[in-house]
Structure 1
Amino acid sequence: MYFATFRYNEEEKFGVLSKDQKNIIPLQQIFDQLGVIAPKTLKDFIEQSDDILIKDIKKILKTHNFECIPLENVKLCAPIPYPRRNLICLGKNYLDHAKEIIGLPGANDEIPKFPIYFTKIADPAIGDGDIIKNHAEITDKIDYEVELAIIIGKDGINIKKEEVEEYIFGYTIVNDVSARNIQRKHEQWFRGKSLETFCPMGPFIVHKSEIPFPVELDIQCRINGELRQNSNTKNLIFDIPYIISDLSKGTYLRAGDIILTGTPSGVGLGFKPFKFLKSGDVIECYIEKIGTLTNKVE
């Protein structure tokens, strides 16, 4: 199932895509059929859902006809516009990306022996088709990073690697937009990655049942149609079982948490000369089985 948060008739709703992915069914209708009070947001739904509820929804989708809204008539928002906590991110988690920034000013030249974690504010995250602000007063070095994001489905601590999939709700795309000059100036990544609109997310959250585990998906980013990033999530240095198990050692992961798994080579910083984003540039972030997240720079 593909879940989305969307605006329709000036109201924010959330729903599930029809099988042909041309229409969206508000989850309110499904909960009415189930005789259950519907959660208010997709984030609330994720926190309340379990395997039984997902099976019930799949069953009722097959046996009932619902009033659908054509996807072309809605405005897709970030699936979780206001995450409950900062997004948890991994730096330098593809070998080719770690190598492409070796020798650059402010970069650590070592290939990571352990995951590099940091966090990123999304308040709110922006959705497909939204504008990325250029923040011209403080940066002229805006970069793109297509990333597979994991949505945690239930609370857990000290999670074993072999049990990791049980704690995942699904997956989405995040563009980890970054102001490289701010990163370098502050000698850390949080500030330069947390500017307003620097977290495009979507277009959907795909439930884990749609994607075989281990997760091996093609991942790409195009700028104005030019293919810049092109890899597969099987090339992660630290894979999904490692990441979630490691993060959960002594620390609770909570339902609704969002974990970004890193970006492959081809970012603007990796070119000589650099290829940073300019006003008017169109960024298309694609991940197999999830879709394409498209945004434009102010």
Structure 2
Amino acid sequence: MSLHLSDEEFLDFQSFIHRQTGIQMHRGKKALICGRLAKRLQQCGMPSYGDYFRFIHTAQGQGEHQTCIDLLTTNETYFFREPKHFDWLTDYLRGLSPGTQPLRLWSAACSSGEEAYSLAMVLTEYSPRAWQLMGSDISTRMLERARTGHYPMARNKHLPPELLKKYCLRGTGRQDGTFLITKALRERVEFCHINLNEALPQVGLFDVIFLRNVMIYFGSATKQAVVNRLAQQLRPGGFLCIGHSESLNDVQHPLQPLAPAIFRKPGTAV
């Protein structure tokens, strides 16, 4: 079956994704939509992209609605991506005094979990306090992968060898060529489904939030709304880390720049 995505159908999906996730897909993403949805259309027996689009907006296609979002959202990530943030976090943790209040961190667009597990390794190594870590994503498909903590061996190339040896298990037999995050570390991370483009659930306050390499897909209005939502979830003196290719210069927010791609909420940390 040969499928063609018309300009009108592209605009439908473009509007849908922006409405649901805040992500802006320019016309250059037309091929991406075709590539990511073509197989799914065949699986669902849909003769065209237009039929599939109409289907996901029916009661019968309600479950397919999330599947479409999962397929169209970008999920490129790897362990210890942009390592300067992890260097900063290590120094921050080393400078903390022991305290009774647990540290709380949030990987707010964790994709398949590499960032969250990278944070968990650093926290285990250096935190002088008890800690809690949450990873969230808009894609339920990525969250399922994250919970397993199971990755191809090629994904470990940025993982420091000593941490790879300490927190990862090499697959053997049928699992050869893969590695698994240890159960002890997997159990320290709570993964949940959150759409940052909507009102946030009651997740409490955090000391550090990582939201990296996501806002490059947002327009200014969406970016401002998301940053201000996250700022409300930071404790006084808490930190927001964004991607090094991102900027908050075009939005109004209550945070103070601390270092490249790191912002601090005014106030005194406990």
TM class by shorter chain equals under 0.3
Q: TM-score, normalised by structure 1?
A: 0.26
Q: TM-score, normalised by structure 2?
A: 0.28
Q: Which has the higher helix share?
A: 2
| Larger of the two Rg values belongs to structure | 2
Q: Which has the higher strand share?
A: 1
